């Protein structure tokens, strides 16, 4: 009896070269490296600052709650609704300071569901972000665009760069809601979207896992997309070795979550590629391209500008409109947060004063979003055979 042939994945991913962050830090004085690392990244500055602080044994460690809250809310209120044709919504009023407002906007008045039956009731209620989750569930069939039961990441497997489940879901591995969804639908887009909702509840409850250092020079922190690892070896006050492993490294690993998810996507649903990629959420530029007739031959790169990529960030300078730039690009965006400055000042041998002056107020993405009621979300279209994704200008308005 001959086994049935497995159909090829309808889409393949082109992954842009990454910024050589480690080589930028090696040879730098430890205080300069600690200041430089958060400045290389526009959206995950707090995660970078926390990792370097933990790896170097700083006494004060920046908090990640606001950064994770912002990233998760943007998914539920801006990008996913736009992909689904629901239209973007204003972020909850006073989302940076009013946890009650955020809870009501996410879940309605009934609060967080505790069981799978509770969650089913919430999903059908139309409250909060239930319509967004319901639409994601309806767009993908059970066990479509799923990854297999890869082992959840551990401090040991993270550094081996093997296919593992290194996503937000790993922080909620014991959730009966996720377990029930996995049994009925697999580890697909719906499972991952629900995990993000559970993670939002953890942020609001101040229940994120604590960062830790398994040994001097190593850090593992709970970033917006999963576990982020940083290894810094310092000799005579100079960074001698640096290694970083991000959730995106795990996601894009050969045989990993992205490859498996694309492999199980129905060819008739290739147009859902941008939504799938936005749910998987790589923090590096990734372009999806059809694999069928007329697609480029392996080894060819998409022409510059012909296909927009996943992995665009919003940048702003004082008095200037938002613009888009590749996420992970080196940008000049000073990290002036008081918490970060204090943490960096506490690094052994940093040479920085313990009490730094209050930073000069300036534009920063979290503060601006707190006053924004409407963000124009990414748009997508089919350009020839490639799936394109672009980020238009962002507009601000008073809270509605």
Contacts of 132 (CB under 8 A, 6+ apart): 76, 80, 81, 84, 86, 193
Lowest mean pLDDT among 14-28, 287-301, 319-333: 319-333
By the 8 A CB rule, do 275 and 86 touch? no
How confident is the model at residue 89, as a pLDDT? 93
Round to whole Å and give the CA distance between 173 and 209: 12
Cα 324 to the chain's mean position, in Å? 17
Residue 400 lies in a domain: no
pTM (2 decimals)? Answer: 0.75
By the 8 A CB rule, do 95 and 74 touch? no
Round to whole Å and give the CA distance between 121 and 167: 26
Element (H, E) at 39: helix 30-39
- Reported as a pLDDT band with limits 50, 70 and 90, residue 7 is low
How confident is the model at residue 8, as a pLDDT? 74
Residue 244, strand partner residues: 230
Select the more confidently predicted residue: 182 or 298. Answer: 182
By the 8 A CB rule, do 290 and 10 touch? yes
| Per-residue pLDDT tens digits for 48-84 | 999 999 999 988 888 999 999 999 999 999 999 999 9
Average pLDDT for 382-400 = 32
How confident is the model at residue 197, as a pLDDT? 98
Round to whole Å and give the CA distance between 210 and 35: 22
Closest to 299 (Cα-Cα) out of 289, 309, 312, 314: 289
391: pLDDT strictly greater than 80: no
How confident is the model at residue 69, as a pLDDT? 96
How confident is the model at residue 304, as a pLDDT? 38
Residue 82 lies in a domain: yes
Q: Within a 13 Å sphere around the CA of 107, how many CA atoms are in the beta-carbon half?
A: 21
Contacts of 221 (CB under 8 A, 6+ apart): 47, 50, 51, 54, 64, 211, 227, 228, 230
- Reported as a pLDDT band with limits 50, 70 and 90, residue 399 is very low
Residue 284 lies in a domain: yes
Residue 397 lies in a domain: no
Residue 398 lies in a domain: no
Residue 137 lies in a domain: yes
Residue 129 lies in a domain: yes
Contacts of 182 (CB under 8 A, 6+ apart): 191
In total, how many domains does the chain have? 1
User: Which domain range does residue 82 map to?
Assistant: 11-390
| Per-residue pLDDT tens digits for 9-20 | 889 998 888 888
Residue 395 lies in a domain: no
How confident is the model at residue 271, as a pLDDT? 94
Q: Compute the mean pLDDT over every residue in the chain, rounded to the nearest whole number.
A: 77
């Amino acid at each position: 009896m001959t086994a049935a042939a497995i159909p090829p994945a309808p889409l393949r991913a082109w992954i842009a070269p990454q910024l050589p962050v480690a080589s930028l830090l090696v040879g730098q004085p430890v205080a300069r490296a600690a200041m430089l690392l958060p400045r290389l990244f526009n959206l995950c500055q707090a995660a970078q600052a926390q990792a370097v602080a933990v790896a170097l044994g700083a006494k004060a460690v920046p908090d990640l709650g606001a950064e994770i809250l912002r990233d998760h809310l943007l998914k539920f209120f801006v990008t996913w609704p736009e992909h689904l044709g629901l239209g973007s919504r204003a972020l909850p009023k006073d989302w940076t300071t009013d946890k009650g407002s955020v809870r009501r906007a996410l879940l309605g008045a009934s609060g967080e569901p505790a069981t799978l039956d509770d969650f089913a009731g919430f999903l059908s209620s139309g409250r909060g972000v239930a319509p967004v989750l319901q639409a994601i569930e309806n767009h993908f069939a059970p066990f479509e665009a799923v990854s297999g039961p890869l082992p959840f990441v551990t401090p040991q497997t993270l550094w081996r760069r093997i296919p593992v489940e290194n996503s937000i879901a790993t922080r909620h591995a014991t959730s009966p809601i996720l377990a029930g969804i996995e049994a009925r639908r697999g580890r697909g887009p719906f499972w991952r979207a629900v995990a993000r909702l559970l993670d939002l509840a953890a942020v609001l409850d101040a229940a994120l896992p604590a960062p830790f250092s398994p040994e001097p020079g190593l850090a593992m922190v709970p970033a917006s997309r999963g576990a982020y690892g940083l290894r810094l070896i310092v000799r005579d006050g100079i960074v001698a070795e640096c290694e970083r492993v991000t959730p995106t490294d795990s996601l894009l690993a050969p045989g990993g979550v992205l490859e498996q998810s694309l492999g199980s996507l129905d060819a008739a649903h290739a147009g859902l590629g941008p939504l799938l990629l936005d749910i998987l959420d790589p923090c590096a530029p990734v372009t999806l391209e059809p694999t069928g007739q007329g697609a480029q031959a392996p080894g060819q790169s998409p022409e510059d500008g012909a296909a927009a990529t996943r992995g665009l960030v919003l940048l702003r300078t004082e008095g200037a409109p938002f613009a888009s730039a590749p996420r992970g690009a080196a940008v000049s965006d000073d990290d002036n947060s008081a918490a970060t400055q204090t943490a960096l000042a506490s690094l052994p041998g940093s040479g920085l004063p313990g009490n730094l002056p209050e930073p000069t107020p300036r534009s920063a993405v979290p503060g601006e979003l707190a006053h924004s009621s409407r963000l124009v979300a990414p748009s997508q279209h089919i350009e020839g055979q490639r799936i394109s994704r672009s980020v238009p200008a962002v507009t601000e308005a008073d809270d509605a």
